[in-house]
Structure 1
């Protein structure tokens, strides 16, 4: 590594490219913030990129997602031609619906 440093002037910097961090970066950018997202690895998406499904209502008392970025993201997967995801009832008791997707394609939306 050389001794020179680069300096950047920006509003928001987020580190890591897991699903939650990507959502935070997009939210900041939508609010007009100049945003940098930094990921050390060669793959983005975190757990979502390595998993073929995710519960939509897990951990919520009403068994439903609160919406926001994840709701918009899942809707884009459903609306894609051909669809990149489908909704089904969870096979785990009392967890409500889940979205099932191909992680190799889901991270590109």
Structure 2
């Protein structure tokens, strides 16, 4: 794909994290994406937290120690100063767009043009 649009994918496996962060053109549409590492067991239908959210120790925030962690921005739900910021493998939105995504054609056009 020439562009991957990522939603609020907060819990991902190490393999998913690697695939997403190695793609050259990702649009990170929601803050707090790629925040916690999980493992899956499809035979038992379980997902288990491996790292992140202060687990397995209190000082661990982002489970991948990702340098582009923007979790603090998820609390800006007004998006009054909305912008996409360039990062190594794409674009990252600076607010939580849930309240505008379905109302703004201009916003959707901006995503398309990234």
- Specify the TM-score bucket, using the shorter chain as the normaliser: under 0.3
- TM-score (norm: length of structure 1): 0.26
- TM-score (norm: length of structure 2): 0.25
Q: Which has the higher strand share?
A: 2
Q: Which one has the largest radius of gyration?
A: 1
